[in-house]
Amino acid sequence: MTDTKIAVIGGSGIYDIDGLQDAQWTTVQTPWGAPSDALLTGRLGGVDMVFLPRHGRGHVHSPTTVPYRANIDALKRLGCTDVVAVSACGSLRETMAPGDFVIVDQFIDRTFAREKSFFGTGCVAHVSVAHPTCPRLSAACLQAAGDTGVTTHDGGTYLAMEGPQFSTLAESRMYRDSWGADVIGMTNMPEAKLAREAELCYASVAMITDYDSWHPDHGEVDVTQIIATLQKNATHARALVAALPALLGGARTPCSYGCDRALEHAIMTGPDARDPDLLARLDAVAGRVL
């Protein structure tokens, strides 16, 4: 049994955690470069918490330039056990309206300009992301979201696009009609894949801000509309985060879904053929198995 340490990765509109005790911004160095920003550490409800602003304070990183590997490494290096990603998204479903939350359980990764793995030449590993989010952690997020009063959908497929431009109408229709995606965003990939490689439980809370461009009654995405909805969503998101310590508890048993053992049989490269320099960079992410 270990101590729970909850990490919250805040997306657009979420830049801190309310009520955090002993709060301090901590600079973390990683072998993958600097994270998006310093990390806010403290305790909430008797449970250790870490907050990371995905885009940096002031929103300085685009979805493509977010240092995803450094972010996940920093969370692992600080001893985090559970990662809750909060993100602004567009909706591809009439029933998932702006202001609603979706507890994502699947992804379609359409990003192409980002480093997507900690592993590579000199240490090859293949983890399963068939089920890319942790059902236990997602269930806690579902309950916490529901308790805030916000309309919350249990399950949904998140289409991760490269951005930073929004979708064309043709793309939006394809993602919705042909591919079966439910929400669209720009930041949960490769974040979810890297969290799995780092053996971290990961849950995704999508905060819907708009109907993307497919909806015949709403037209193209308007940034002013998104910001207005973001501000409303942020209140519910903060309440969700505040409820997590009580739901997850301070003591943590091994994940019943195996998220914290994802590397158990994943590394393919034999010990004698492994690159020492890469192994050194993997000290936090894969130290348990290496």
Buried b (16+ CB within 10 A) or exposed e, 39-60: bbbbbbbebbbbbbbbbbeeee
What lies within 8 Å, CB to CB, of 142 at 6+ separation is 103, 152, 154
Q: How far apart are CA 232 and CA 235, in angstroms?
A: 6
147: annotated active-site residue? no
Query: Tokens 């250790």 — which residue?
Result: 48
Residue 221 Cα distances to 98, 154, 156, 165, angstroms: 12, 25, 21, 10
What lies within 8 Å, CB to CB, of 58 at 6+ separation is none
Q: Are 71 and 35 in contact (CB under 8 A)?
A: yes
Phi/psi at 289 (5° precision): -100, -15
Omega into 164 within 30° of 0, i.e. cis? yes
Q: Which residue stretches of the chain are H helix?
A: 68-77, 135-148, 169-173, 191-197, 223-248, 276-281, 283-286
Catalytic residue among 147, 212, 217, 283: 212
37: annotated active-site residue? no
Catalytic residue among 210, 217, 222, 275: 210
CA-based nearest residue to 67, from 13, 28, 24: 28
Give the active site residues.
210, 212
